[in-house]
Structure 1
Amino acid sequence: MWIDPKIIKSFEQSATDIHRVYSSPLGWIERYGQDFVLVLNEEKQKERLLEDLLSWCCSQGFACKRVFLKKRYAKNEKSLSNRLHLIHGRSDLPMRTVCRENGLLYSIRFDQGGSAGLFMDQRQNRMFLRKRKVDRLLNLFAFSCSFGLCAALGGAESWNVDLSQGCLEWGKDNFRLNGLDPAAHKFWAMDVREALKIFTKKGIIFDHVVIDPPTFSYGKDSGEFSIVRDLDSLLEKVFGLCSKQKATLFLSTNYKRWNTKDLFLKAKRVAWAKSIRVNFLHYPVSLPDIPQNELPASCWIEVGSP
């Protein structure tokens, strides 16, 4: 199903050119300004959907500079699945560009693996964070630091932790694009679990924490991370770093076996074991361009004293 032109108009009014334009059981198509990413579940529909996309762009008056392909059907072939393939447009154009979401600028890169740099299914959660009063944010599994950026623009001290130094440098670029000095914030390239130990030892406290981990990851030095196995211990350490007055925790996952209720109950169980009170603060908000059943499980949780 192609996106309604009225929705496109609303994106234009909010200074957003990062969004989906098509969704179906075959996959979906993402827009990044004048570039598009075709995310496919099966090979045989590639040519038809590419042709349909070019026709749709013409009918909507959209320039289509390039189209990249992400092969979700090649999950067992790392060389194929973990990067974007150019299937339409000039190959000599820069592989990096800048796009907008709700007025903020983001560095978009088509040569850095399977993601161009911004998970659009978290759009409303980024907006929610921008409206919060934040003093010190801990952004775990930061990737390109979009949550850290949203908090920093509101005056927060942003602490971003990710295993990849490259992703954190990407995040620093996003800060600079929006007029922020990265030197005024923290970017830690290390395993999240090790960072939490350091924060605990040093007694560093946060009033907002973002936890949006991969379902599974592996680092050469840090070993395996599994959300199923490691979430409880992660939450236990995070609750110990939350401000005693009041703190906010954002918890999210794409692990398909868990829904929003599951996430909150897991957090509640860990909190109660530490005599910490938690309340559901904000439910997930539907997005106009992404089907509800494809959104990650997520919840905003208010963390307080007993």
Structure 2
Amino acid sequence: MSKQYRKKRGERARPRNRTAKSQPAGFRSTDAVQHDPAAGDGVVVNGYSERWLRRGFPWVYREEVVGRTGRFAPGHVVSIRSRDGAVLGTGIWDNAHVEVRRFRNDIGPVGSQLLSKRVAAAKNRRPLDADTTAWRWVHGENDELPGVRADMWGDHLGVCLDSPSLVPLLEPLLQAFADHASDLKSVWLSYRISDGDASRFEGLPSGLVWGEAADAPIEVLERGIKVAVEPWLGHDVGLYCDMRELRAWMEPHWRGKRVLNTFAHTGMFSVVAAKHGAREVVSVDLSERYLARARANFELNRIDTSRHIFDSRDTFKVLDARRRRGDQFDVVIADPPSFSHSKDGRWSAKTDFPRLVAASLRVLAPGGWLIVASNQGKVSPKEFLQQIQQGAHKARRPLRLLHEASTPVDFPAALDFPESRYLKAWVLAG
């Protein structure tokens, strides 16, 4: 299977627009659409929602709203109150399952001053080295900007919104980013679109919304390793920065190893392994386009590609063929997409992950390491463990946990927002 159809936490890119703009355009400012929360326009929530809001949870679900005062549409700024009238905050209203995203705990505007302060604070919380130029500037709810994610790719910014209701914030948001990044060259906009929800995003601005379009892939750094990215592809930029901590932890352990990287995507794990002394790296992905990008990343880092293999066959076919040949690898990487499909079939991490673990273990050398990862927030660590155990039992290979990776500093996880702790990335010894 390929990561070509990968759905990263439900995120999909809008069609690419390569027309350069000198300033944000095509959407209304916040002030043009907001109601006055101080006048009483807002929602009343039940006791369960009130308890979670008081703890710091930033969402109000539709079923938790027991009353509405005023008439408003998606994008309006509304107050949030308890049944007894206590103020619980101010947020952006949406006609969706998440009805309100709370931006502040009191009653007040959600505009330029607030957004600029939050954007600046988010940047100050990210003490990244100069040898890393690909990083997440805003991580949504965890940076008090619910529904907003922003990634820096060198001098280029990619912004992703979870809901059309957040579009009215674009003008002050983009101004805030520009104010705190003087060398910004372009801003690309995409949306996180769930299945069956695409119609809500029709007609919204997307693609290039500020600056000039790049003529070629942009070269960025992760801990000194070069990688080519394409911000105009939305979620398919070419690098998943949330795996940086695991790649960093593995750096001292690659030398002399024979590595199999399944679902290799654009090959970042493969490049890091080869750059840090791996004897041979086999990168497998059904997408020839991804493997071409992986090969280009090898060449960017002056790695001799003739010493390594790029295989565009189905992962399970490769694993079976390698097993039949008696091949064994010191490290096997299994970081599959949540869901994908191809002419060879469908892949679902929920049902197929144990089979992938078993097949990977059958080509893992005794004492070798299996790296497994899942970005599915709906899969709990307990369920993830059970999936791995099922695969290990099927392959009759006992496993030991060596390292449990966390997200890096630019992917913080608010303690009162459980949804932020989505990543499971383990190094297992077999």
TM-score (norm 2): 0.64
1:107 aligns to 2:228 (yes or no): yes
1:155-170 superposed matches below 5 A: 155-156=277-278, 157-170=280-293
- Change in Cα spacing, 1:110 to 1:287, as seen in structure 2 (3 Å) is closer
Question: Can you give the 5+ residue segments of structure 1 that lack an aligned partner in the other structure?
Answer: none
Deviations 1:119-148 (A, max 9, x none): 011111111221213511111110000001
1:243-262 superposed matches below 5 A: 243-244=365-366, 246-262=367-383
Measure the CA separation in 2 of the matches of 1:285 and 1:113.
24
1:186 aligns to 2:309 (yes or no): yes
Measure the CA separation in 1 of the matches of 2:322 and 2:171.
48
What does residue 153 of structure 1 align with? 275
Secondary structure of 1:131's aligned partner: helix
1:208-223 superposed matches below 5 A: 208-219=331-342, 221-223=343-345
Secondary structure of 1:122's aligned partner: helix
Measure the CA separation in 2 of the matches of 1:7 and 1:113.
24
Measure the CA separation in 1 of the matches of 2:301 and 2:167.
36
Count of matched residue positions in the alignment of Structure 1 and Structure 2 = 294
Q: Does the 8 Å CA contact 2:188/2:232 hold for their aligned counterparts?
A: no
Measure the CA separation in 2 of the matches of 1:117 and 1:138.
19
What does residue 351 of structure 2 align with? 229
- Change in Cα spacing, 1:238 to 1:116, as seen in structure 2 (3 Å) is same
What does residue 171 of structure 1 align with? 294
Q: Does the 8 Å CA contact 2:359/2:395 hold for their aligned counterparts?
A: no
What does residue 16 of structure 1 align with? 132
Aligned AA (1:191): D
1:112-151 superposed matches below 5 A: 112=233, 114-134=235-255, 135-151=257-273
Measure the CA separation in 2 of the matches of 1:43 and 1:160.
38
Deviations 1:186-221 (A, max 9, x none): 1001111111111111111111111111111011x2
What does residue 300 of structure 1 align with? 427
Aligned AA (1:64): L
Q: Does the 8 Å CA contact 1:264/1:280 hold for their aligned counterparts?
A: no
Measure the CA separation in 2 of the matches of 1:289 and 1:273.
37
Q: Does the 8 Å CA contact 2:337/2:349 hold for their aligned counterparts?
A: yes
1:282 aligns to 2:409 (yes or no): no
Q: Does the 8 Å CA contact 2:159/2:187 hold for their aligned counterparts?
A: yes
Aligned AA (2:300): L
Secondary structure of 1:266's aligned partner: helix
Measure the CA separation in 2 of the matches of 1:113 and 1:37.
7
Deviations 1:137-177 (A, max 9, x none): 11111000000111111221111000100100100111111
Measure the CA separation in 2 of the matches of 1:295 and 1:53.
27
Q: Does the 8 Å CA contact 1:121/1:295 hold for their aligned counterparts?
A: no
Task: Tell me which of 49, 71, 76 is aligned to 2:191.
Answer: 71
Q: Does the 8 Å CA contact 1:139/1:160 hold for their aligned counterparts?
A: yes
Percent identity over the alignment? 23
1:90 aligns to 2:212 (yes or no): yes
Measure the CA separation in 2 of the matches of 1:46 and 1:207.
48
Measure the CA separation in 2 of the matches of 1:112 and 1:61.
22
- Change in Cα spacing, 1:274 to 1:162, as seen in structure 2 (3 Å) is closer
Measure the CA separation in 1 of the matches of 2:351 and 2:232.
31
Measure the CA separation in 1 of the matches of 2:317 and 2:221.
33
Q: Does the 8 Å CA contact 1:139/1:209 hold for their aligned counterparts?
A: yes
Deviations 1:242-283 (A, max 9, x none): 102x11111111222223343233223332343322111101
TM-superposed CA distance for 1:295, in Å, is 4.1
Q: Does the 8 Å CA contact 1:251/1:263 hold for their aligned counterparts?
A: no
Question: Can you give the 5+ residue segments of structure 2 that lack an aligned partner in the other structure?
Answer: 1-117, 414-419
TM-score (norm 1): 0.88
Indicate the larger mover: 108-117 or 151-160. Answer: 108-117
Measure the CA separation in 2 of the matches of 1:14 and 1:130.
18
Task: Tell me which of 233, 241, 246 is aligned to 2:363.
Answer: 241
Aligned AA (2:185): K
Q: Does the 8 Å CA contact 1:212/1:253 hold for their aligned counterparts?
A: yes
Deviations 1:80-120 (A, max 9, x none): 89xx71111124x3141101111111101135563211001
The CA RMSD measured in Å over matched residues stands at: 2.2
Measure the CA separation in 2 of the matches of 1:262 and 1:74.
23
